[in-house]
Structure 1
Amino acid sequence: MTDMLFTVLSAALVSNLVLQMPLAIGSTLATESRPQLHAMGLATTVVVVLSGIAGYLLDHYVLRPLELTALRLWVFLPLIALLISPVLSLLTRLRPNMHWHGLWLLLLGNAGVLGVVLLDTRDDQGLAHMTALSLGAGLGFWLVLSLFSDLRERIAENDIPPPFRGLPVELISAGLMALAFLGFNAMIKA
């Protein structure tokens, strides 16, 4: 149990898919509205966990026995695209007060979801480990979304030179945030 907890914490903090492996930085920078922030975080976490589990099962029981592991990208990409719509409709029914509009394209274009499935299926450590890694990656993405939202609010009130306004200061802040997250390396060994 502690191994799974450390795996979730390690995936969320040490091997963060946005800051350490800049896979989902585009979706992070595209999500600006505060109400949509938590909807995007929740939807991404659910899609990452479900696609991680389904990807592991497909890889372990179909692709490896047939020696078709070279086709992982061509199998996992449609799998993720097929999971997004049912997940969003289920979350809309469960949480109707959240803003789910426009998330389908952000989830489809989120390279972090595909990256987690591709990176985690090559290390065959079991379904429980894959689930913990996927959950940690989704929660880490949600954490970075929240941090970026707070950062945008603080930046909006400051006097920033014109060449650095907007995307440049956000990218500089993402780099500094990634350096801050490196401090977790000493606490949790990935």
Structure 2
Amino acid sequence: MTEILLTLFSAALINNLVLHWPLGVDPLLAASGRKQVHALGLATTCLMLVVGTLGYLIEHGLLTPTNLVSLRLLAWLSLSILLIAPLLRLLARWLPTLPFDGLWPLLLGNAGVLGVTLLNSQDDRGLGHAMALSLGAGLGFWLVLSLFDDLRQRTSNNAIALPFRGLPIQLISAGLMAVVFLGLRGLVKT
């Protein structure tokens, strides 16, 4: 149980997919507005959990026994694409106050979903570990998305030199956030 909690904590904070491994940076830079950020964070967390878990089950239940491991990427990509629309409809029905309308392209272009599934296949420690890694990665993405949106709102009202306005200050801010999250590595000794 401790190992699963450590995996969840590590995936959310220490080995964050957006900051440690630059996966899912495109939705990070595209999302704006508090409600859209939380809608994207929730949808990405749910998608990572479902695709990561089902991808692990498909690999170990279907692809590995039949020696079709070379089709992993095709299976995971198809699974990810097919689950986006039903997941967004379900979340929109469940939480009608959040704007899930324009999130399909952001979820489709999020490489973090496939990255989690790939990490689950590399670290073959069981289904519980795969679920914890997927949930932790989704929660870490949501945390970074929320922090980055707050930082973006704070920098939009400040006097910033003209060459640094817009995307340059956002990339510098993301780099500084990555350094801060890198400082959390000292918390866990392996």
Structure-2-length-normalised TM-score: 0.97
Q: Could you list the per-position Cα deviations for residues 48-88 of structure 1 after superposition, in whole angstroms to 9, with x for gaps in the alignment?
A: 00001100000001111111212211110010011111111
Listed as ranges, the gaps of 5+ residues in structure 1 are none
Give, as a single letter, the amino acid of the residue that structure 1 aligns with 2:76: F
Give, as a single letter, the amino acid of the residue that structure 1 aligns with 2:82: L
2:107 corresponds in structure 1 to 107
Inter-partner Cα distance in structure 1 for 2:136 and 2:123: 16
Pairing 1:145–2:170 present: no
1:32 corresponds in structure 2 to 32
2:81 corresponds in structure 1 to 81
Q: Is the 8 A contact 1:51 1:80 kept in 2?
A: yes
1:187 corresponds in structure 2 to 187
1:116 corresponds in structure 2 to 116
1:189 deviates by 4.2
1:115 deviates by 0.9
Give, as a single letter, the amino acid of the residue that structure 1 aligns with 2:170: E
| Structure 1 residue runs of 4 or more that deviate by more than 6 Å after TM superposition | none
Inter-partner Cα distance in structure 1 for 2:85 and 2:176: 35
SS in 2 for 1:186: helix
1:183 deviates by 1.1
Number of aligned residue pairs: give it: 190
Inter-partner Cα distance in structure 1 for 2:133 and 2:187: 18
Structure-1-length-normalised TM-score: 0.97
SS in 1 for 2:101: coil
2:60 corresponds in structure 1 to 60
2:13 corresponds in structure 1 to 13
Q: Is the 8 A contact 1:10 1:189 kept in 2?
A: no
Listed as ranges, the gaps of 5+ residues in structure 2 are none
Q: Is the 8 A contact 1:41 1:138 kept in 2?
A: yes
Inter-partner Cα distance in structure 2 for 1:174 and 1:153: 14
